[in-house]
Structure 1
């Protein structure tokens, strides 16, 4: 029996590439996973709360700002639940706030919608109080 090739446009594969790109700071690779009309929503109460649009808007409004305020910000993806174009990822954020020097280690859930091999929607769910506490002196 021959090996089956992995479809790199499959929703879980696209989402996984996004996590790897984010963890390595490769913003070009991260933008390549996002649809031109992406809607990326950071949860109310999160320091960067709101909806960001376009791949450049997501990386400049979210990833670059996180890097300004936090050392080692990483989303560690561990569990994927896939149903059609929907991918829910259970993960963990770890980082150290640059001003307070307080560590962050919090569980998070991300809901992605992937169409045509690109992320078209993202919604974050996180305990925003834990993030706020780490950022507050």
Structure 2
């Protein structure tokens, strides 16, 4: 039986989980489907892609596609979810190998999502940027 999008749960944690699954499989179309048209996606200051991106297409082009171009096997492993209404905080871990240096990355991260109407309207990343930059340095 195939999954029907009308049957998908709009519960905030389920929407966020679909975003992680889409990201892990490189399905950018499915990832964009979890994002509101006016999404605000913020990568932390000090992170190589720091800034706030708006719109599903801009988010995937400016973040996911760039990560895939610079890192092998970039994965956000979502471990623990803390949900309070529309707020979803996820304790996670990034793993990857930097293509330029060959160095491995394994760093803890926290993501904060706000989900309304079954779509992610806001994302904010918290990560030890020094560990990411270390993996990028020769």
For the aligned pair, the TM-score class normalised by the smaller chain equals: over 0.9
Distance 2:62 2:9 in 1: 27
- The number of equivalent residue pairs is 132
Deviation at 1:108, TM superposition (A): 0.1
- Structure 1 residues not aligned, in runs of 5+: 1-5
Structure-2-length-normalised TM-score: 0.94
Distance 1:64 1:109 in 2: 21
Deviation at 1:7, TM superposition (A): 6.5
Deviation at 1:92, TM superposition (A): 0.2
Secondary structure of 1:51's aligned partner: strand
Secondary structure of 2:49's aligned partner: coil
The aligned counterpart of 1:108 is 109
Secondary structure of 1:8's aligned partner: coil
- Structure 2 residues not aligned, in runs of 5+: 1-6
Alignment RMSD = 1.0
The aligned counterpart of 2:124 is 123
The aligned counterpart of 1:17 is 18
The aligned counterpart of 1:43 is 44
Structure-1-length-normalised TM-score: 0.95
Counterparts of 1:65-84 in structure 2, within 5 Å, are: 65-84=66-85
In the TM superposition, structure 1's runs of 4+ consecutive aligned residues that sit over 6 Å from their partners are none
